[in-house]
Structure 1
């Protein structure tokens, strides 16, 4: 097997994911050094296979890209490689290493803080030439003055500055070869930084938003469109922080739409202008999906986490986006925020549920070192996991038992709402509960009592479970018809191309024809029509 001089190691959450950071580091460094290779694995791979896969390549230097989802795996890898092959020089970077450099410096020679392209290119060039690394000349790094052989030596932290920050236009395009990304999500970065200061988010630490030139962005997006890439996920933190820019990009992808590619954007819904909403309403169904982080509707919680969003405007804009039904919409809530107890979280849920987004993502607060939330952990009496992802167990306002109950509610939402298989039946079922939250709360309890949590459930069984749950809570025969209707819209797979079914609704009998060759790209439902009486 050939020997790599420098090997960058990425450990992704799933096979369909990729790590744009290591590709960017390698591409920028290889413009001058040509000595950097990449090895990608997933956290689901066997540990021994990953360890052996790295060491068999016999690198002189290994760089590890450490994130919240892979940190435990990575720390074990780094320590074991340090012990097995102490002659290999080890480097670390990524959010987890940036915010805990002291830990990684137990085994690594250097930790890169924040973005690393400029520093890594300097490192790769020095290694190629056999020169010492110029630690004292660099910014955005952490190292030990006496080297890692001296465990008690002082850690030197040099914060990122102009010497370590790269002009966005100098970042090479990462996808000139698409073969490594076949059947995987393409991540694309047109800006860095975030204009907001959310106290739980590491992105808030980069105060200024830097943009890639529009001519370059359009050229690269055109490449994706010409290649008919399935999905491009923008990793810009708030894509529409510049309305002029978002309009120009959305107009470009509309004018060059290939009928296949989907673009994912994370936006601030309250920032949307009239012109943006009008433009979005004209896009092909499935061309765009939008992720909208609402997080909470409780004003004291919003103030504590430094969010200034206008919720009334968010609701109005999302409702307008929803009315066109051409965009896949994701809304987010976070449980465990300061000043929000269990009852107030219910209200946040009930406030945003009527938006009927395609995905309602319930997350739980993560207390990340380096954030403002971490600095307030004692004041807020935050109890959270000492292991990644540092998820909340309890706060001054919410108990562990209540958080555990919310996890079960989250599972019920994921199973029945986010699957998009029960849209009509869930909407009808709401009539038999005081609030949407109480419906899912009861659903979670039902799953728990019937020992259906955490088990594999077939598609057919899911419909049976929902129907039985509804009947147990007073739903009428019309609810059973809606369950059957949803089932007809979704249970096509490869078994059939069309179907016909008669429904005895309270207002009369109707026969429907379902066309499984025509699936809506947003609702994921089969096209259907009412059959004429003489057909």
Structure 2
């Protein structure tokens, strides 16, 4: 029997764990021949179908999620037309809700899995060509031979720590910029918008196994590990143990973690303070800085504790801390989103990620959408279109604001000056957003240089007090001194003043100096290595 796995991702930088996770459990199924067709959602559909057709599989299997859903159905529907004998089985987060309507609308799909497949999928493979035996396979949903919908509930792998690890499969992809590591499964939290909300019990892998897997990841030369645990610090004792383990792989590996700032114990804080630079990259779950919004969303943890924890995390210069907000949550207004961005910027969050709420299948918020006054797209990615508190136009503004944050605040080159400007003037953020929308640039891909030019011209016209700050950011980014943001920079035969305050670097007479005046004879000096032709300054001083 030949099984073809359709590995369809949003880009080649990403890779699903589903294939190696399932394949690793099937080492004893020698009768199965595995083939893989890998593609991205941007590739020509016909070419992918052609690759599938020439494999002549008996089974086509794939994981479906909101961003590959549409393209994947186009592919498998065509494959089924060419290979009518082929059995198509799909799984993934798209099937955590009621699957009857999907199966009736897409009759080319034979069955779908709801939940975790490592234990149930091998059982289905033993009965793949005997649909009358499918009724005992937990998690399987299908239409039987009299077209009646059969729903076998939700599959959970209770002996999670006994599973063979995905890295043991030859299909584990070591060529990506990062790998994913799941050390726990389930979530203690009850967030109504999340597919893992209330997913219990929480199951863990012991530290010996985690160390063994990380040792192999390190041996393969991987530099970034994304830990898939929904909340890294749901158990502070375990979090401390994991941190200690991660330190064994420093400085070679950087670990990306999701952390709940409201649940950081004093003991864990002490451990985090001691971590070396570059070991951790933290995603701090915030969603909103409004207590009533968090209560309505059934997110656990006091807001006051979350803000205290976030302020602590942002104070740690040796790690990056990203905070997220979700537009479209019930009771959350656009004006409050702008205010929350200012608060997060004041805390010093390294990134502020503003996403639009998506009502995913199987979530409480999707089931209660009408009650909560939420209108949303019935098709992937199921984005919220309007709520009682935020209009269609305001949600569009929030999407534009997300683009602005990604282009300016979340980009290291422009982060410092953007943060400084929006904190010094409460009108700056809304004015810059209106400017970008008016120019028709808010949805356009912009180079780093183009963003600097836009920011400089905007400040020169509307916020002249910020003009020098943009010029400084431009110079320190190594941008051309012949372009507009450097128009006031003096480059010829610059000599140091009698006294100056060195801000970084060490002055040497061999440095090529340039001077940015900010107030008459006062301003900033930047030194460049002449011999090495470095584009960024290695020295900065001021006599302000």
- TM-score per shorter chain, which class? 0.7 to 0.9
CA-CA distance at 1:450 after TM superposition: 1.8
- Flag the 1:427–1:341 CA change in 2: closer, same or farther, 3 A: closer
- Flag the 1:202–1:441 CA change in 2: closer, same or farther, 3 A: same
Structure 1 CA distance, aligned partners of 2:335 and 2:306? 22
Q: 1:483 corresponds to which residue?
A: 470
Structure 2 CA distance, aligned partners of 1:423 and 1:246? 30
Asked if 1:444 corresponds to 2:433, the answer is yes
CA-CA distance at 1:277 after TM superposition: 1.9
Asked if 1:508 corresponds to 2:526, the answer is no
Asked if 1:275 corresponds to 2:272, the answer is no
Q: 1:521 corresponds to which residue?
A: none
CA-CA distance at 1:139 after TM superposition: 1.3
CA-CA distance at 1:20 after TM superposition: 0.3
Q: Is the 8 A contact 1:411 1:444 kept in 2?
A: no
Q: Is the 8 A contact 1:291 1:329 kept in 2?
A: yes
Q: 1:38 corresponds to which residue?
A: 36
Structure 2 CA distance, aligned partners of 1:457 and 1:256? 37
Please list, as runs of the form range in 1=range in 2, the aligned pairs for 1:68-87 lying within 5 A after superposition: 68-87=66-85
Structure 2 CA distance, aligned partners of 1:307 and 1:60? 44
CA-CA distance at 1:432 after TM superposition: 5.2
Asked if 1:266 corresponds to 2:258, the answer is yes
Q: Is the 8 A contact 2:528 2:539 kept in 1?
A: yes
Q: 1:144 corresponds to which residue?
A: 143
Superposed CA RMSD: 2.7
The DSSP-based 3-state class of the residue aligned with 1:204 is coil
Which shows bigger deviation, 506-515 or 399-408? Answer: 506-515
CA-CA distance at 1:485 after TM superposition: 2.1
- Indicate which of 149, 152, 164 corresponds to 1:155: 149
Q: 2:181 corresponds to which residue?
A: 188
For structure 1, list consecutive stretches of 5 or more residues without a partner in the other structure.
Answer: 517-524
Asked if 1:454 corresponds to 2:468, the answer is no
For structure 2, list consecutive stretches of 5 or more residues without a partner in the other structure.
Answer: 481-510
- Indicate which of 14, 22, 33 corresponds to 2:19: 22
Q: Is the 8 A contact 1:36 1:124 kept in 2?
A: no
Asked if 1:51 corresponds to 2:44, the answer is no
Structure 1 CA distance, aligned partners of 2:29 and 2:376? 44
CA-CA distance at 1:157 after TM superposition: 0.3
- Indicate which of 222, 246, 253 corresponds to 2:246: 253
Asked if 1:13 corresponds to 2:10, the answer is yes
Q: 2:415 corresponds to which residue?
A: 423
Q: Is the 8 A contact 1:117 1:166 kept in 2?
A: no
Deviations 1:15-56 (A, max 9, x none): 110000121111212343453343322111111122112222
- Flag the 1:468–1:454 CA change in 2: closer, same or farther, 3 A: same
Asked if 1:344 corresponds to 2:336, the answer is yes
Which shows bigger deviation, 178-187 or 280-289? Answer: 178-187
Q: Is the 8 A contact 1:294 1:332 kept in 2?
A: yes
Which shows bigger deviation, 20-29 or 105-114? Answer: 105-114
Structure 1 CA distance, aligned partners of 2:192 and 2:512? 52
- Flag the 1:44–1:470 CA change in 2: closer, same or farther, 3 A: same
Q: Is the 8 A contact 1:429 1:475 kept in 2?
A: no
- Flag the 1:61–1:480 CA change in 2: closer, same or farther, 3 A: same
The DSSP-based 3-state class of the residue aligned with 1:455 is coil
Structure 2 CA distance, aligned partners of 1:492 and 1:511? 16
CA-CA distance at 1:131 after TM superposition: 6.5
- Flag the 1:349–1:515 CA change in 2: closer, same or farther, 3 A: farther
CA-CA distance at 1:487 after TM superposition: 2.0
Q: Is the 8 A contact 2:53 2:82 kept in 1?
A: no
How high is the TM-score relative to the length of structure 1? 0.87
Q: 2:494 corresponds to which residue?
A: none
Q: Is the 8 A contact 1:67 1:96 kept in 2?
A: yes
Structure 2 CA distance, aligned partners of 1:492 and 1:198? 44
Structure 2 CA distance, aligned partners of 1:311 and 1:409? 24
CA-CA distance at 1:406 after TM superposition: 1.4
Deviations 1:114-148 (A, max 9, x none): 00111111223445xx76673132211112221xx
Q: 1:305 corresponds to which residue?
A: 297
Q: 2:456 corresponds to which residue?
A: 467
Structure 1 CA distance, aligned partners of 2:423 and 2:161? 54
Q: 2:491 corresponds to which residue?
A: none
- Flag the 1:393–1:180 CA change in 2: closer, same or farther, 3 A: same
Structure 1 CA distance, aligned partners of 2:455 and 2:204? 47
Number of matched pairs: 503
- Flag the 1:17–1:431 CA change in 2: closer, same or farther, 3 A: closer
Q: 1:520 corresponds to which residue?
A: none
Deviations 1:459-493 (A, max 9, x none): 222111101112232332xx333222222333379
Q: 2:112 corresponds to which residue?
A: 111
The DSSP-based 3-state class of the residue aligned with 1:293 is strand
